């Protein structure tokens, strides 16, 4: 079969092809397939752009070659002009060699040579970052530029903001010159292979595998995995059997898995799913309920984290609370009272949030969470931030209990949970009339994105609607806990009756 004339490459295309050449081909030949939306990508790109812009302060006085508003040839010409005119620092310098287009985040003159400074919003150097910079060096060398050193500039998550952001403290820079140089020897062959893939007329016959999620979850998983049936080996939760080993042997459906190859948890999941069987241990549920007491305050926080700390006293990627929902029950089966807080746009919400919470959580109440490690972490950070409130916060911290426990231990297991003890799976299995399905905001990531959107919105009508959706989501989290606890109490009552 003949081949098309291959088109140009870019750094991002080569990186995609390193992960999977089928993904590279699909990028250039999109299938007629409806992919699920990925609204989180836009927020991720915006955060990355903000980090890149801030990192330019590490090398002030540079000139930027903008991506927007200039054609590729114009970007290349502007870069060459800046180099010829003696520019010391160029931001987003553009180069093309062998029909490969790259932009260098920060290019710094180093005598007769140049330094590459690649900026990432992660907190360490990863292998994919080395490939990223290796491609840049390959192209720059091809354009006749000598690269003296290569650096990976990333976030230092030990930095604490005090006043204006200090770029030299927010960022850490690691020299990766030797590791990048080691990748140069194979670069010509690697590029040739990716170019050949792009020229193929037929989709490459590359099967699914661990590479689908390494180093990133591939955009084309819904397409490449469409042959995987419902109730498959890939639904098995946790570590245990090697799923891709089973797949390579033609074992895909859950019903075809030899049960004796599974660990106890995976075997229970498989048998429960196939037989639509539930499991309950009333004695263990009773023992769990005996660790709780009334009044019970069902608590859930919503938080955001950003690479660039938003407020004084916060670190990169620190979980900063901006919202809580609280359902308070005075006794078993009692109608709960609901309290909630959602920060106004943009201001640091932490002081007001914790003061509001302390005002409605009695000192002697049981504070019930779902995954206590998260809520405890938020409370501990608040105690450190506000020493005058630390004693009151610590009193509540001592009373935190975790509703996840009986589901993590599988004291109660419903086959619809599919091996998970996430509240998103437990709720519809235990309380079918309640679900997160169809909500405008249906998970913590969406809530985080909604917070950033809220801070940017100027339309009061749109802002009011967004805030309503945010409150509705967080309220369901704690109402879900009320109802799930009620189901557990019902199990014990039924077993005793």
Tell me the angle at which helices 127-142 and 11-19 cross, rounded to the nearest 10 degrees: 140
What six digits make up the tokens of 47? 């955060």
Same domain membership, residue 265 and residue 143: no
Q: What is the mean pLDDT of residues 384-397?
A: 98
Q: Which two tokens stand for residue 48?
A: 């990355």
Last residue within a domain, chosen from 152, 179, 196: 196
| Mean pLDDT value across residues 450-457 | 94
Q: Which long-range contacts (CB under 8 A, 24 or more apart) does 312-317 make?
A: 312/161, 312/162, 312/163, 312/348, 313/160, 313/161, 313/162, 313/385, 314/160, 314/161, 315/157, 315/158, 315/159, 315/160, 315/161, 316/123, 316/155, 316/156, 316/157, 316/159, 316/170, 317/123, 317/155, 317/157
Instruction: Output the average pLDDT for the chain.
Output: 95
Q: What is the DSSP letter of 253?
A: B
For 129, the token pair is: 């970052």
* Inside any domain, residue 204: no
Same domain, 394 and 325: yes
Cα–Cα distance between 215 and 128 in angstroms, integer? 7
Domain membership of residue 474 (yes or no) is yes
Report pLDDT for 43: 85
Structure tokens belonging to residue 269: 């999941």
Residue 452 has pLDDT above 80, yes or no: yes
**Beta-carbon neighbour count of residue 189 at 10 Å?**
9
| Tens of pLDDT, residues 106-127 | 999 999 999 999 999 999 999 9
Q: Residue 167 sits in a domain of what CATH number?
A: 3.90.320
Q: CA-CA distance, 96 to 487, in Å (whole number)?
A: 63
Rg (CA), the chain: 27
Residue 261 maps to a domain: yes
Say which residues have a Cβ less than 8 Å from residue 21's Cβ, sequence separation at least 6. Answer: 193, 194, 197, 204, 206
What are the tens digits of pLDDT across the range 281-320? Answer: 999 999 999 999 999 999 999 999 999 999 999 999 999 9
pLDDT at 6 over 50: no
User: So what's the pLDDT on residue 117?
Assistant: 98
332 and 256 together in one domain? no
Percentage of the chain lying above the pLDDT 70 cut: 98
How many domains are there within the chain?
Answer: 3
Instruction: Provide the token pair at 493.
Output: 């009552």
Same domain, 439 and 415: yes
Supply the range of the domain harboring residue 403: 283-496
- Look at residue 150 in the predicted model and tell me its pLDDT: 98
Domain end (from 140, 174, 196): 196
188 and 250 share one domain: no
On whether both 162 and 249 belong to a single domain, the answer is no
Does one domain contain both 269 and 287?
no
Flag whether 232 is in a domain: yes
Comparing 45 with 389, the larger pLDDT belongs to 389
Q: Could you identify the residue written with the tokens 């790109």?
A: 45
Q: Are strands 337-342 and 113-119 parallel, antiparallel or unpaired?
A: unpaired
CA distance 185 to 138: 10
Residues 247 and 175 in one domain: no
pLDDT on residue 2: 36
pLDDT tens, position by position, 219-231: 999 999 999 999 9
Q: What is the mean predicted confidence (pLDDT) over 47-72?
A: 96
Is the full-model pTM beyond 0.85? yes
Distance CA 211, CA 490 (A): 45
Question: Is the predicted pLDDT of residue 273 greater than 80, yes or no?
Answer: yes
- Is 70 exceeded by the pLDDT of residue 244? yes
Q: Which helix (H) or strand (E) holds 366?
A: strand 366-369
Tokens matching residue 346? 């943009």
Distance CA 231, CA 386 (A): 49
Looking at the structure, tell me whether residues 272 and 287 fall in a common domain: no
- ω into 295 cis (within 30 of 0): yes
If you search the block for the tokens 């989501």, which residue do you land on? 473
Q: What is the average pLDDT across 29-37?
A: 92
Does 262 map to a domain?
A: yes
pLDDT reported for residue 497: 67
User: How many other C-beta atoms lie within 10 A of the C-beta of residue 269?
Assistant: 25
Please report the pLDDT score of residue 399 as a whole number.
98
Please check whether residues 476 and 398 belong to one and the same domain: yes
Domain final residue, candidates 150, 180, 196: 196
Q: Residue 64, SS3? A: strand
Q: Report if residue 17 sits inside a domain.
A: yes
> Is 444 a member of any domain?
yes
Q: What is the pLDDT of residues 172-216, one digit of tens each?
A: 999 999 999 999 989 999 999 999 999 999 999 999 999 999 999
**What sign does the dihedral 244-246-250-254 (CA atoms) show?**
negative
Verify that 262 and 343 share a domain, yes or no: no
Angstrom distances, CA of residue 54 to CA of 67, 117, 157, 314, 365 = 17, 13, 15, 17, 45
Look at residue 7 and tell me whether its pLDDT is greater than 80: no
Q: How confident is the model at residue 5 (pLDDT cuts 50, 70, 90)?
A: very low
Domain shared by 257 and 311, yes or no: no
CATH assignment at residue 345: 3.30.420.10
**In this structure, are residues 285 and 488 in contact, taking their beta carbons and an 8 Å threshold?**
yes
Yes or no: say if 137 and 170 are a contact pair by the CB < 8 Å rule: no
- Of 305, 285, 311, nearest to 411 by C-alpha is 285
| Extended strands (E) in 98-245 | 100-110, 113-119, 147-155, 171-175
User: Is residue 222 in a domain?
Assistant: no
Query: What one-character DSSP code corresponds to residue 439?
Result: -
């Amino acid at each position: 079969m003949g081949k098309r004339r291959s088109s140009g490459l870019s750094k991002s295309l080569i990186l995609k092809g390193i992960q999977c050449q089928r993904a590279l081909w699909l990028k250039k030949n999109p299938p007629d397939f409806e992919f699920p939306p990925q609204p989180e990508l836009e927020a991720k790109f915006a955060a990355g752009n903000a980090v890149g812009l801030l990192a330019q302060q590490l090398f002030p006085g540079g000139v930027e070659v903008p991506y927007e508003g200039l054609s590729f040839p114009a970007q290349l010409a502007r870069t060459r002009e800046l180099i010829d005119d003696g520019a010391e620092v160029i931001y987003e310098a553009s180069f093309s060699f062998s029909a490969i287009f790259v932009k260098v985040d920060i290019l710094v003159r180093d005598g007769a040579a140049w330094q590459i400074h690649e900026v990432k919003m992660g907190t360490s150097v990863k292998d994919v970052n080395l490939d990223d910079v290796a491609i840049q060096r390959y192209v720059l060398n091809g354009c006749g530029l000598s690269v003296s050193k290569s650096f990976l500039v990333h976030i230092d998550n030990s930095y604490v903001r005090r006043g204006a952001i200090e770029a030299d403290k927010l960022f850490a820079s690691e020299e990766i010159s030797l590791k990048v140089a080691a990748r140069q020897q194979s670069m010509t062959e690697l590029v040739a292979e990716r170019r050949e893939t792009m020229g193929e007329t037929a989709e490459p016959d590359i099967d699914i595998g661990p590479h689908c999620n390494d180093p990133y979850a591939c955009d084309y998983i819904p397409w490449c995995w469409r042959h995987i049936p419902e109730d498959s080996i890939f639904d098995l939760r946790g570590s245990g059997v090697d799923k891709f080993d089973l797949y390579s042997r033609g074992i895909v459906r859950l019903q075809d898995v030899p049960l004796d190859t599974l660990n106890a948890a995976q075997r229970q999941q498989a048998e429960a799913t196939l037989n639509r069987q539930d499991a309950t241990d009333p004695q263990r549920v009773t023992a769990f309920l005996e660790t709780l007491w009334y009044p019970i305050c069902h608590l859930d926080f919503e938080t955001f984290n950003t690479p660039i700390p938003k407020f004084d006293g916060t670190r990169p990627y620190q979980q900063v609370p901006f919202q809580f929902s609280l359902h308070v029950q005075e006794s078993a089966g009692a109608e709960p009272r609901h309290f909630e807080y959602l920060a106004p746009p943009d201001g640091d919400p932490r002081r007001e949030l914790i003061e509001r919470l302390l005002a409605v959580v009695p000192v002697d109440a049981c504070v019930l969470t779902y995954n206590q490690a998260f809520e405890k972490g938020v409370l501990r950070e608040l105690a450190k931030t506000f020493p005058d409130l630390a004693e009151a916060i610590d009193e509540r911290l001592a009373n935190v209990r975790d509703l996840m426990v009986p589901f993590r231990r599988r004291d109660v297991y419903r086959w619809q949970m599919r091996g998970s003890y996430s509240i998103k799976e437990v709720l519809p299995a235990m309380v079918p009339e309640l679900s997160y399905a169809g909500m405008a905001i249906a998970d913590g990531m969406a809530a985080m994105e909604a917070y950033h959107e809220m801070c940017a919105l100027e339309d009061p009508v749109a802002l009011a609607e967004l805030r309503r959706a945010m409150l509705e989501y967080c309220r369901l989290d704690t109402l879900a806990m009320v109802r799930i606890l009620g189901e557990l109490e019902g199990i014990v009552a039924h077993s005793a009756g």
